């Protein structure tokens, strides 16, 4: 039996996925979590063969958890299943060591087959998204520019961001200014929106 861990914050979606995958002759959902923080501790206990992760989860993202899973539970293959088919997300998922990336609007038969394929050592990626990711290119933002944009999401002041990131205010202004330039926007809120649409944040 293929042991599957599900990480999905919407209870109805999680329950439906668990039910549908449980009907497959060779699969068993051994754990379900609703937050990103719970993924790695649960995987260490349940020892799944495949972790099916959403990206946008409370606590931490599925992408961050995928990176840690690769280190802590190296036998577990990661398959990202998301509503948001953004090219930047696909690139970041592959960098995090994910073996697959699918969007949620596909049929469950495709998902079950993707789980079997990643367990067999293949990489499975939504073909439309793969083409978009290739044409979009890599994120132009540095890690620190992403940090500064992420920290400004709730309308935080430059002083707040500087304190949170342990940086000087002038350094934060430089990072934000650079990110605004790279996203070709007029201010940091527009830069956050543009970077999110591309999947860079």
Average pLDDT, the chain: 89
pLDDT digits (tens, 9 = 90+) for 40-85: 999 999 999 999 999 989 999 999 999 999 999 999 999 999 887 7
pLDDT-derived band at 195 (thresholds 50, 70, 90) equals: confident
Least confident of 25-39, 84-98, 162-176: 84-98
pLDDT digits (tens, 9 = 90+) for 128-180: 776 666 556 677 888 899 899 989 887 789 999 999 999 999 999 999 999 89
Question: Could you give the count of Cα atoms lying within 13 Å of 140 in the half-sphere of its Cβ?
Answer: 12
Give the residue carrying structure tokens 């961001």.
161
Q: Are 52 and 39 in contact (CB under 8 A)?
A: no
Distance CA 161, CA 177 (A): 14
Mapped onto helix, strand or coil, the DSSP state of residue 201 is coil
**Burial class, 71, CB count within 10 angstroms (exposed 0-12 / middle 13-18 / buried 19+):** exposed
Q: What is the mean pLDDT of residues 115-132?
A: 84
**pLDDT score at 196:** 82
**pLDDT score at 122:** 93
């Amino acid at each position: 039996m293929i042991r599957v861990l599900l990480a999905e914050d919407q209870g109805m979606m999680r329950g439906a996925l668990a039910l549908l995958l449980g009907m497959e002759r060779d699969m068993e959902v051994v754990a379900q979590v609703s937050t990103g923080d719970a993924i790695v501790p649960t995987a260490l206990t349940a020892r799944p063969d495949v972790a099916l992760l959403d990206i946008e989860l409370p606590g931490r993202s599925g992408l961050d958890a995928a990176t840690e899973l690769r280190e802590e539970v190296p036998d577990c293959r990661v398959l990202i299943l998301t509503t948001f088919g953004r090219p930047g997300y696909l690139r970041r998922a592959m960098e995090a060591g994910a073996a697959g990336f699918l969007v949620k609007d596909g049929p469950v038969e495709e998902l079950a087959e993707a789980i079997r394929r990643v367990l067999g050592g293949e990489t499975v990626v939504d073909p439309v998204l793969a083409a978009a990711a290739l044409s979009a290119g890599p994120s132009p933002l540095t890690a620190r520019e992403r940090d500064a944009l992420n920290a400004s999401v709730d309308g935080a002041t430059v002083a707040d961001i500087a304190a949170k990131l342990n940086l000087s205010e002038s350094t934060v202004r430089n990072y934000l200014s650079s990110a605004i330039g790279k996203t070709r926007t007029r201010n940091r809120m527009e830069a956050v929106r543009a970077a999110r649409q591309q999947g860079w944040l």
